[in-house]
Amino acid sequence: MITALIAEDEAPQRQELRAMLAELWPELTVIAECEDGLEALEAWTARTPDIAFLDIRMPGLSGLEVARQAPEAAQVVFVTAYDEFAVKAFEAGAVDYLLKPIRADRLAETVTRLRARRTAPKIDMAALAEALSGQLAPKRAISWITASLGDVVKMIAIDDVVCFQSEDKYTRVVTASESAHIRTPLKDLAEQLDPEIFWRVHRNAIVRVAAIRQVKPDEDGRLQAWLKSVAEPVRISDAFRYRFKAM
């Protein structure tokens, strides 16, 4: 018995694909119909289908992420409304990709292709990871920090941030007018911030270079950075002292 999984967030489209498959490939048994990415991953794990039809844009996990995280190999057919992922999907080892609306004659070709293949090709994790990083989490500097301000969660534009400071298990996000908290460690933040704009000055502080008003030693000769619109100075550790030699 050949089994298949269909993941598509819109019910009518899911049912239509199922109906078309039933007509074109009566021997195929659809063992799971999923509404979103997480459900698809669970069904894939639990029932190990031979073939997976995955919509790329779905709530929860995208089709690409489902394929990447799947524990068992299956022949994957990606379905998308617009061929932004097509090439990458193929490079990642997908058997085929279908453009919405799905046409019966095109689906027949896919069925022929699936029937011709005996074994499921291994999904190329590296290519898929690249497809994911390129398309779903674009390689650009982060633009927002979603942080907690008491009971409220608020999006803070990265352009407004003056500095980040470690505080126990939190990271404090300081802007000219407020300060909020995130759980993301400073180390992870540092990797994603533009190093031209934000400088690490201490094990527990990253500051916006343009916001530095003054750098001077305190009574003990330790260097401190005074920031615009922030009352307290930020310690500069000896390891990062060299960055301020020219200032």
Partner 1 sequence: MASLDDDLRTRLPRGVLSDLGGWTLYQSFRTFTWPWLLRRGILFWPLALFAGSAFAAYHASSMGVWSDWPPLAWRACLAGLLTVTTGPALATLVRHLRPPVFLERVLVIAAIGLGLWIGLVAITWASHYHDHLMEAYTDRSMKVGVFAKAFSQVLRTSIDTSVFVWVFAGGGLATIYYLGERRRLTQYATQRQLETLRAERSAADTRLAVLQAQVEPHFLFNTLASVRSLITSEPARAAQTIDALADYLRAALPRLREDRVEDATLERQIDLCVGYLDLMRVRMAGRLSVRVEADAAVRASPFPPLILLTLVENAVTHGVEPKPGPGEIAILAQLDGDTLTVTVEDDGAGLTPGITPGLGLANVRAQLQSLFGYRAGLDVSSRPEGGVSARIHVPVAS
Q: Which part of the chain contacts partner 1 (CB under 8 A), choosing from 12-20, 69-77, 105-113, 204-212?
A: 12-20
Residue among 120 and 186 whose Cβ is closer to partner 1: 186
Radius of gyration of the chain (CA): 25
C-alpha pair distances (Å), 147 with each of 14, 200, 218: 37, 20, 32
> What totals of helices (H) and strands (E) does the chain contain, helices first?
7, 15
185 in contact with partner 1 (CB under 8 A): no
Query: Cα separation of 8 and 215, whole Å?
Result: 56
CA distances to 59, 66, 118, 158, 164 from 176, in Å = 35, 41, 62, 12, 12
Site residue total, partner 1 (CB under 8 A): 44
Report DSSP state, residue 211. G
- Residue 102 sits in the site that holds partner 1 (CB under 8 A): yes
- Measured from the CB atom, the residue of 24 and 102 that comes closer to partner 1 is 102
Instruction: Determine, following the binding rule CB under 8 A, whether residue 120 of this chain makes contact with partner 1.
Output: no
Q: Does 87 bind partner 1 (CB under 8 A)?
A: no
Could you tell me which residues come within 8 angstroms of residue 30 by beta carbon, excluding any fewer than 6 positions away? 3, 4, 5, 6, 18, 21, 22
What x/- string results for residues 137 through 176 when contact with partner 1 is judged by CB under 8 A?
A: xx-x-xxxxxxxx-xxxxx-x-x-----------------
- Given CA atoms 130, 133, 135, 139 in this order, what sign does their dihedral have? negative
99 near partner 1, rule: CB under 8 A: yes
Q: State CA 66 to chain mean position distance.
A: 12
Please state the closest distance from residue 217 (CB atom) to partner 1, in A.
34
Token reading at 105: 């004659």
Q: Quick one: which of 2, 3, 16, 243 contacts partner 1 (CB under 8 A)? A: 16
Minimum separation from the CB atom of position 235 to partner 1 (A)? 25
Quick one: which segment of 45-53, 98-106, 119-127, 206-214 binds partner 1 (CB under 8 A)? Answer: 98-106
CB 220 → partner 1: shortest distance, Å?
35
- The residues binding partner 1 (CB under 8 A) are 9-13, 15-17, 36, 57, 59-60, 80-82, 84, 99-102, 137-138, 140, 142-149, 151-155, 157, 159, 181-184, 189, 192
